Amino acid sequence: MAQAPRVRFAPSPTGYLHIGGARTALFNYLYARRFGGNFMLRMEDTDQERSTPESVQAILDGLKWLGLEWDEGPGKEGKYGPYFQTQRLDTYRTHSERLIAEGKAFRCYCTREDLEARRAAAEKEKRAYKYEGTCRELKAPPAGRRVEDAVIRFKMPREEGTVSFNDKVLGVITKPYSDLDDWVMLRADGIPLYNFGCVIDDHLMDITLVSRGQEHVNSTFPQLMLYQALGWAPPEFAHLPLILGPDREKLSKRKHPEADVMLHKRNGIMPEALLNFVIRLGWGHGNDEVISREQMLEWFDFADVGSTSGVWNPEKLLWLNQQWFKLLPPATVAERLVPFLEAKGISARGDARLEPLVLALRERARTLEEMATTATIYFRSGVTLDEKAAAKHLTGDSLKLLAQVREQLAALPAWSTDAVDAVVKAVSEQAAVGMGKVAQPLRVAVTGNTTSPGIGETLMLVGRDEALRRIDSALTRTA
């Protein structure tokens, strides 16, 4: 690669960071990092009604949570700024005036009502509306209209021709000029429309490759016409396949809550798992499923992005999260578990049991939320017995065994996993019953239920005094 790539993520800040945006950001980020380039963030905040500072913040927070740090952009000013389109209006004005002067764009004075009526008429006749070219040749505003009222339209060449590009994912795509019309570049108030702002910025910001969702393929044609008119070389393009929800409908904010990146954070999915999940929506490396950031950086290229849609598989996300529980250091998982425990009223920061707890629970829990729910019994005082479990395991002979265990546990000189296990073994041998006959009543007494990590480990995590108190309470309850 001759030139270090400069790529960008250019969200419109009109809501939270969604999964499609996260994927676009991830692919661009990886490409820039892998090839020693630059990953830029540009806010396309031209929709003044829907763009909000909260959305900007939500996007920045989402990217940071995923660890997709941008090299330039909001909060990281560089020589290509400003990085908010609404702060670049002079630039758009200058370039549109230049195009008018060169006869490649024109002011259009048609009123909104007029255009709407024309569009409605076309719809009635079931033909696609295309701007008629009404104002193409006007040299001055018509009577009653002022220059300030005009929008600026691109002057599409009238001769026959085609525009095409070689997409890195989709291959060569071509469109005849006749499919395009004199599209609006700039509104009367100086706000650029997407195609115009995007091209001006991508060029001035020296972007070498534009990667975005496939819904923008059709925008690429008018954009290429503009590059041509301005005498600028266009960047490369890589349009990413669609992402479908679990129902196989296009993943959308409206229909699919899982489109919200931060929902997964709240649900207890870890960023490593979500990134791992997202990279597989359209890209693959052999049969590899669990992919680390290092591997992503080593392997990712747009050449391996497929054109078939990625389908959301909720089970796979949970599975990946569990894999990442096992791959990350327990201290890291423990750190992330703390806020989930706090949300349940348990302050566990600094508790020495956190890491052993993660080691014990990560075999079963699939999210931090699940892990925290299971973990509550180790922190609260007392336990609520599951009635069914108690009815089965805390009666008759089982209670006698439990009383024996209690006695021996209380006599232990030191409380450890092995010591507890040894007591369970000794009591079962004395009574000539299987270990389960002793361990299960003990487990129910201490955890309230029939599933938990190994019995020694469980009692270790609950702690000596609390464990004995729970056993006592089980013994009195049913005595």
Rg (CA), the chain: 32
Rounded CA gap, 95 and 227, in Å? Answer: 12
CA 330 vs CA 1, 416, 454, 455: distances in Å: 40, 20, 18, 21
Exactly one of 130, 168, 250, 253 is catalytic; which is it?
253
**Binding status of residue 471 toward ligand GLU by CB under 6 A:** no
The least CB distance from residue 206 to ligand GLU, in Å, is 15
Residue 253 bears catalytic tag: yes
Please choose, out of 8-16, 226-234, 394-402, 449-457, the segment that lies near ligand GLU by the rule CB under 6 A.
8-16
**Binding status of residue 198 toward ligand GLU by CB under 6 A:** yes
- By beta-carbon proximity to ligand GLU, the closer residue of 215 and 342 is 215
Which of the residues 94 through 153 are near ligand GLU (CB under 6 A)? none
Q: What single string gives the DSSP state of each residue in 163-207?
A: EEEEETTTEEEEEEGGG----EEE-TTSPBPHHHHHHHHHHHTT-
Binder of ligand GLU out of 5, 6, 7, 11 (CB under 6 A) = 11
The per-type count for the chain, helices as H runs and strands as E runs, is 19, 11
- By beta-carbon proximity to ligand GLU, the closer residue of 11 and 74 is 11
- By beta-carbon proximity to ligand GLU, the closer residue of 40 and 371 is 40
Q: Which amino acid, 68?
A: L
The least CB distance from residue 85 to ligand GLU, in Å, is 9
What does the block give as tokens for 111?
Answer: 């009123």
- By beta-carbon proximity to ligand GLU, the closer residue of 44 and 421 is 44
- By beta-carbon proximity to ligand GLU, the closer residue of 45 and 272 is 45
The least CB distance from residue 233 to ligand GLU, in Å, is 17
Under rule CB under 6 A, how many of the chain's residues touch ligand GLU?
A: 7
Rounded CA gap, 418 and 409, in Å? Answer: 12
Selection from 62, 68, 85 nearest residue 32 by Cα: 68
- By beta-carbon proximity to ligand GLU, the closer residue of 216 and 265 is 216
Please choose, out of 9-17, 233-241, 308-316, 342-350, the segment that lies near ligand GLU by the rule CB under 6 A.
9-17
Q: Strand, coil or helix: what is 472?
A: helix
- By beta-carbon proximity to ligand GLU, the closer residue of 17 and 455 is 17
**Binding status of residue 12 toward ligand GLU by CB under 6 A:** yes
The least CB distance from residue 101 to ligand GLU, in Å, is 27
What does the block give as tokens for 410?
Answer: 């209380």
The least CB distance from residue 226 to ligand GLU, in Å, is 13
The least CB distance from residue 211 to ligand GLU, in Å, is 8
Name 211's Cβ contacts closer than 8 Å, sequence gap at least 6: 7, 24, 27, 28, 31, 168, 237, 238, 239, 240, 302
The least CB distance from residue 188 to ligand GLU, in Å, is 21
Binder of ligand GLU out of 7, 10, 270, 275 (CB under 6 A) = 10
Rounded CA gap, 236 and 321, in Å? Answer: 35
**Binding status of residue 88 toward ligand GLU by CB under 6 A:** no
Selection from 322, 305, 229, 231 nearest residue 268 by Cα: 322
Name 162's Cβ contacts closer than 8 Å, sequence gap at least 6: 174, 175, 176, 177
Rounded CA gap, 242 and 219, in Å? Answer: 16
Please choose, out of 6-14, 124-132, 337-345, 399-407, the segment that lies near ligand GLU by the rule CB under 6 A.
6-14
The least CB distance from residue 60 to ligand GLU, in Å, is 15
Rounded CA gap, 474 and 479, in Å? Answer: 8
Rounded CA gap, 410 and 330, in Å? Answer: 31
CA angle 85, 192, 75 (to 5 degrees): 5
Beta strand pairing call for 209-213 and 236-240 = parallel
- By beta-carbon proximity to ligand GLU, the closer residue of 196 and 378 is 196
Binder of ligand GLU out of 212, 239, 280, 470 (CB under 6 A) = 212
Question: 202, 340 in Cβ contact below 8 A?
Answer: no
List the x/- string, 27-46, binding to ligand GLU by CB under 6 A: -----------------x--
CA atoms within 13 A on the CB side of 403: 11
The least CB distance from residue 241 to ligand GLU, in Å, is 15
**Binding status of residue 72 toward ligand GLU by CB under 6 A:** no
Binder of ligand GLU out of 153, 175, 216, 366 (CB under 6 A) = 216
**Binding status of residue 365 toward ligand GLU by CB under 6 A:** no
- By beta-carbon proximity to ligand GLU, the closer residue of 210 and 334 is 210
Selection from 11, 62, 29 nearest residue 274 by Cα: 62
**Binding status of residue 23 toward ligand GLU by CB under 6 A:** no
- Catalog residues that contact ligand GLU under the rule CB under 6 A: 10-12, 44, 198, 212, 216
User: Which active-site residues does the annotation give?
Assistant: 253
